[in-house]
Structure 1
Amino acid sequence: MRATVTSHTLQVTRHTSQITSALMAGAWLLMATGCATNPATGKRELMLVSESQEIQMGREADADVRKTMGVYDDAAWQKYVTDVGMRLARASHRPNLPWKFTVVDEPAVNAFALPGGFIYITRGILPYLRDEAELAAVLGHEVGHVDARHGASQASKQIVAGVGIALGGVLAPKYKTAFGLAGGGLGLLFLKYGREDELEADRLGTGYAASAGWDPAGMPGLLDTLAKIDEVGGSSRGVPNWALTHPPAADRVQKVQESVSAAKAASPGGTARNRPQLEERLAGVVFGDSREKGMVRGREFVHPVMRFALTFPQGWEISNSDDAVTAQPTGDANATIILQAGAPSGNLQQTADASMLKAGFQRVDGSSRTINGLPFFIGTYQGVIEKNRATAEAGFVRLNGRDDVFRILGVAPEAQFSNVRPAADATIESFRELSQSEANAIQNRRIEFVTVRNGDTWVSIAAAGGNVVKPTTLAIINGEAPASQPRPGSRVRTVR
């Protein structure tokens, strides 16, 4: 949950719908002549999106990505990623696009591209890169998607199908749409390409990397790390992780090896790994959630910038995105607890009723209370979600000195709500204001390097860092198997 954003919905939908309307108006005319030669592959394919329209889509969405996700505040990393990315872009089939490379301030392990040359890598993936060749691999893969016009091609197919540019919501757990959380625009950002597109982007990316001087074997190394992340669960907070937006990494390794061999044959000078160049920049990189967006620490969500904390139920999976914090029980239980911040519309009761009515819920009970020294309005609401009756317990609270109103609500199907209500009530009643000293004590976790001593294990190194990450995670960010042990005398990455 970002501290500086009160209206969180990406505006990509507005931009793309305008472009889609213009395209569909002439679609039938274009279908007769709408085939074009793909600049990266040489194949003839349906293409109703011109290059200028492709760039327009990307440029307008880029502004929203930067506003909503945030740009990672590290000028050295931004320059480094841009320098590597531009070398790859110059080796591509479309070097004259307005290429832009950005590290976004998101903890999930991912990278993605917008049409027209706008490439993003999350800060969350940086600690998992073993060397510069792997950075070139992940950026080259995304350059490949843009170069082969995969996004524009899918948009063209959807226009012909009469559905416009599909903007799905891979971030949205159940109930998100009903309660106004962002998701529409993210479908463009995290479009899940088909397997052939992914393999083609792998092939193009390895070729660009080798041509620009890097060892193309960085790609299978990266995929091996991503497969390990998939195996142990990965990071699913914020932006969708790689596993949600790309095919399983392990499935691609064999095909990528073929691409690596071809790239090495075509560019035998591509041998650079440059591990020291990457690692010298890693120390101090923020790992996991940040102070600015709030942090999940065990069951508790703390936001030192907005100065509040609350505790979610034991065993629930907590997800922190830009527009909300959500928690859902593990297993098949059908319930969600959502925390959001928004502008008031009157006093707390009026704000609560108006907000819930907008989501299609009517109040059946409620009262004003004081909890942990803060004014609350807590109400029970009933409505319909996806043709099913649902009940919500909602608490609305305002912190001292802030205009924002925080909404904490637990929602479940009507028949199951009695089982969920105690958890929702406990979460609402746990909401409290942090003192300034408490807020100041909550700092970002960062990458550090330590030398392994005799007898050290990943467990002991994790414990020395305060157990802020799992031992398996430490193994993976060091390029090792989760069941392995660190080598005495080696310099390894840790998180503190």
Structure 2
Amino acid sequence: MKPRFLLVPALLAAGACSTNPVTGKKEIMLVSKGQELAMGQQSDPAVTAQFGLYPDQKIQNFINEKGKAMGAISHRPDLTYQFRVVDSPVINAFAIPGGYVYFTRGIMAHFNNEAQFAGVLGHEIGHVTARHSAKQQTNAIIGQVGLMGAMIASPKLAQFGEQASQGLQLLFLKFGRDDESQSDELGVQYSSKIGYDASQMADFFQTLQREQEKSGTPAIPDFLSTHPNPADRYNRVHELADQWKQQNGNPKNLKINRDQYLRLIDGIVYGEDPRQGFVENNTFYHPELKFRFPVPSGWKTQNTPQQFQMADPAGKALMMLTLAPGASLDEAAQALVKQFSLQPADSRRLTVGGFPALAFVADQVQQDPQTGQQVAGVRTQVYLIQDTKTIYALLGAAAPADFAGYQPVFSTTMDGFARLTDPDKLNRQPEHVRVKTLKLRSNLRQALVTNGVPESRLEEMAILNGMPLNEQVNAGSLIKMVGK
């Protein structure tokens, strides 16, 4: 979580029929080009606020340079494309309507050459040029980015969470098999046209597959979704790359640029950045903002630059910490009441961890779809805590029938908010990718061990390098490791 507060309203679409720029075919499209551009313009500030931009100008310049070159040879060269590297450890890339393309620092750290990056960049631009996001919006297949998303089982709680994340629905559009296959083809075409070896994109799928198997969780990036099998996709992209080469005279000068890319990302932050907050021993610590508070045991957590979220594993309650607008506690309370359509039942002044605070319980008023009457959909407990000019909002929410059982949990967390003074937590630093030059020929395992990588992290580093541990690496080669 970083000190930011931004919520952007979503744009509603109306009807039109248009020609697909890639296929040239007429198709029903309820989102016009103008609305598509407006959706991107309205959603982009919410995306960058949610994740934050990664503060490395040379990497931002790199993605801009390659992105602009690729946009110019795409099926929609008229779009003003925007490219961002966002500050997230998740291995992901995504695009939203209107030409906005985002890569996380997590995926940038896992590429091992420029050609891999270019292939994925072409894939994401392909989603834009083929209007896949606009098509999914037309079909109303929109993922909701709420407080903990799928972790929250209650529809009422999900509705509460949605209000805290308006404008971000477009992040998690699910593309079907045909759309993904088409974007793979466009990724090959576009990256090849600007001079890269597109077969490297297929090789990157193996890195993603290994990462998925290591973590034991479903792949997050849409280009490694469950639609096409990753192994089939690997073979298919290699075939597409070979076909493009044959159709274009088997060019010999297609670029890979491994060393150039590794030097570009040398020093990039790897994994979670504790400076933005971290959980340890059931406590959330924020070194930059210098506060801490307890996290309920067993609750799932998610930290973003915009807010820190906690969810009961049973799906019946949630909490979040965010920044509240306003110059005073009263102004902040009024803003939250309006934002979440709350009806406060009572409020009280108190001191929390030495900070002035305002606490109240309120119902979120919703309309019953059957009777049309106003009903309490969610009951909330809110603590507003002021640290000089900054006001933090801690919110707990549950259905009215469950609220009494969860209120002690909410209170324990909120009453536990305090100043962080522990030097160990205040000085916690992130890991960075460190690029090393090998002095002797060896296999990757030996090279990593020689450079001090512990046994428990060898497979992790092998995945980061896109190699098996037994692969031979020549003297003078560059490999990636991580360190403070």
Note closer, same or farther for the CA distance 1:85–1:196 as it changes in structure 2 (3 Å cut). Answer: same
Any idea what the Cα deviations from partners look like across 1:154-181, whole Å, max 9, x if unmatched? 45x45xxxx7xx7652354333542675
Structure 1 SS opposite 2:269: coil
Q: 1:303 aligns with which of 266, 275, 286?
A: 286
Any idea what the Cα deviations from partners look like across 1:276-300, whole Å, max 9, x if unmatched? 1111022211223446743445643
Kept in 2, the 8 Å contact 1:168–1:183? The answer is: no
Q: Give me the whole-angstrom Cα distance separating, in 2, the residues matched to 1:298 and 1:486.
A: 38
Q: 1:375 aligns with which of 356, 367, 372?
A: 356
Amino acid across the alignment from 2:321? L
Any idea what the Cα deviations from partners look like across 1:27-77, whole Å, max 9, x if unmatched? 4xxxxxx342x3323333334655555445434544554455433221110
Amino acid across the alignment from 2:386? R
- Matching of residues 391-470 of structure 1 within 5 Å: 391-399=379-387, 401-404=388-391, 406-414=392-400, 416-417=402-403, 420-435=406-421, 441-449=427-435, 461=453
Q: 1:211 aligns with which of 182, 193, 205?
A: 193
Residue in 1 that maps onto 2:308:
325
Kept in 2, the 8 Å contact 1:199–1:256? The answer is: no
Residue in 2 that maps onto 1:258:
239
Kept in 2, the 8 Å contact 1:307–1:436? The answer is: no
Note closer, same or farther for the CA distance 1:182–1:287 as it changes in structure 2 (3 Å cut). Answer: farther
Kept in 2, the 8 Å contact 1:291–1:304? The answer is: yes
The answer to whether residue 79 in structure 2 is matched with residue 97 in structure 1 is yes
Any idea what the Cα deviations from partners look like across 1:433-492, whole Å, max 9, x if unmatched? 2349678623343222456785966997259xxx9xx665434222246xx579798833
The answer to whether residue 145 in structure 2 is matched with residue 170 in structure 1 is yes
TM-score (norm 1): 0.77
Q: Give me the whole-angstrom Cα distance separating, in 1, the residues matched to 2:304 and 2:450.
A: 29
Amino acid across the alignment from 1:258? E
- Matching of residues 135-174 of structure 1 within 5 Å: 135-155=117-137, 157-158=138-139, 168-172=143-147, 173=149, 174=152
Q: Percent identity?
A: 29
Q: Give me the whole-angstrom Cα distance separating, in 1, the residues matched to 2:176 and 2:36.
A: 19
Q: Give me the whole-angstrom Cα distance separating, in 1, the residues matched to 2:111 and 2:55.
A: 19
Kept in 1, the 8 Å contact 2:208–2:224? The answer is: no
The answer to whether residue 221 in structure 2 is matched with residue 242 in structure 1 is yes
Any idea what the Cα deviations from partners look like across 1:364-402, whole Å, max 9, x if unmatched? 677544343233445555667898865544433222x12
Kept in 1, the 8 Å contact 2:136–2:142? The answer is: no
Q: Give me the whole-angstrom Cα distance separating, in 1, the residues matched to 2:394 and 2:461.
A: 34
The answer to whether residue 2 in structure 2 is matched with residue 2 in structure 1 is yes
Instruction: Please report the RMSD computed on the Cα atoms of aligned residues, expressed in angstroms.
Output: 4.0
Amino acid across the alignment from 1:396? L
TM-score (norm 2): 0.78
The answer to whether residue 70 in structure 2 is matched with residue 88 in structure 1 is yes
The answer to whether residue 266 in structure 2 is matched with residue 283 in structure 1 is yes
Note closer, same or farther for the CA distance 1:244–1:170 as it changes in structure 2 (3 Å cut). Answer: farther
Note closer, same or farther for the CA distance 1:280–1:321 as it changes in structure 2 (3 Å cut). Answer: same
For these two proteins, the number of residue pairs brought into alignment is: 457
Amino acid across the alignment from 1:169? Q
Note closer, same or farther for the CA distance 1:494–1:43 as it changes in structure 2 (3 Å cut). Answer: same
Gap regions ≥5 residues in structure 1: 28-33
Structure 1 SS opposite 2:431: coil
Q: Give me the whole-angstrom Cα distance separating, in 2, the residues matched to 1:427 and 1:311.
A: 5
Q: Give me the whole-angstrom Cα distance separating, in 2, the residues matched to 1:360 and 1:216.
A: 51
